[in-house]
Amino acid sequence: MAEGVIVRLIRDRGFGFIRTEPEGEEIFFHATAVADGRFDTLQEGQRVQFDRVRDPRGRGMRAENVRLVANATR
């Protein structure tokens, strides 16, 4: 399980990016990857935990099972 901070949300397209810690890499996540299904409540700067999985389209890694870490922010 990895941790990071949401750095960018593109709400109208239903996806965002998480900056991983400690690596500092940006990893993609889709709205359907949010564990509780509440993509619309996420905010930039929130700390999250997630699972890294290989993107089925061969575009590297992506985040799945994204969930807030005790509603913490940076």
**4-15 per-position pLDDT tens digit:** 999 999 999 999
pLDDT of residue 56: 81
Residue burial 15-38, b: 16+ Cβ < 10 Å; e: rest:
bbbbebeeeeeebbbebebbeeee
| Residue in this structure with the two tokens 């993609």, named with its chain if needed | 28
pLDDT tens for 53-68 read 998 887 789 999 999 9
CA–CA distance, 2 with 74 (Å, rounded to integer): 16
What percentage of residues in the chain have a pLDDT greater than 90?
73
**48 — pLDDT class (breaks 50, 70, 90):** very high
Q: Classify 2-73 by CATH class.
A: mainly beta
Counting every residue written for the chain, the total comes to 74
**pLDDT at 72 exceeding the cut of 70:** no
CA–CA distance, 27 with 55 (Å, rounded to integer): 11
Model pTM greater than 0.85? yes
